[in-house]
Structure 1
Amino acid sequence: MKCLICQAAARTVHALGDWFEVKCSAGCGHFRVSANLAGKLALKNESFDVERTRRWLDMSRNDEPVPLISTYDYSVSLLHRDADA
């Protein structure tokens, strides 16, 4: 599978109901993403802002070793937005 954040090769550790647990060796690390968000990314052909998301993951790991990226987190701060828009 590809990392949902950076599109590099990654592996799914767990895929349980409401979320996927992913390990990316290209720099994103170990994280979880909600199943709703994974579906939204595929459906709307949207993508993460890679650097911003990696910083968010690093900060989130202070509170939770395997952070969960929710649809809310993505919509508020992690969505890649074109500079032209």
Structure 2
Amino acid sequence: MNCLICVGVAQRIQCAGPWEERDCPDCGRYRVSDELILTLMEQGQIFDVSKTRSWLASQRIDGFIPSIEVHEALLVP
């Protein structure tokens, strides 16, 4: 399975709800909403790897698995 952020090798984690969860050696463990994945695919967008990794790191301070939803993603054409 591939990381949804950097496209490197990642482990897919089973989770409840409308999410895809991954554990990547470089990006860490995170969730991305199915809605965001579909939006990215439809618009031909990808994550900015360094900005996303920084955001994920800032979200982990509270000890929770970060979840990226549509309203948190920056979609740039």
Pick the TM interval, shorter chain: 0.7 to 0.9
Partner residue in 2 for 1:33: 32
Secondary structure at the residue paired with 2:31? Answer: strand
Deviations 1:63-84 (A, max 9, x none): 2421100101103xxx4x48xx
Figure out how many residues of one structure are paired with residues of the other and give that number: 77
- Partners of 1:45 and 1:66 in 2: how far apart? 26
Runs of 4+ in 1 over 4 A off after TM superposition: none
Partner residue in 1 for 2:18: 18
TM-score under structure 2 normalisation?
0.86
Unaligned runs of 5+ in 1: none
Percent of aligned pairs sharing the same letter: 38
- Partners of 1:34 and 1:70 in 2: how far apart? 5
Secondary structure at the residue paired with 2:47? Answer: coil
- Partners of 1:72 and 1:6 in 2: how far apart? 20
TM-score under structure 1 normalisation?
0.79
Unaligned runs of 5+ in 2: none
**Deviation (angstroms), 1:16:** 3.0
Secondary structure at the residue paired with 1:16? Answer: coil
Map of 1:1-85 to 2, 5 A cutoff? 1-25=1-25, 27-75=26-74, 79=75, 81=76
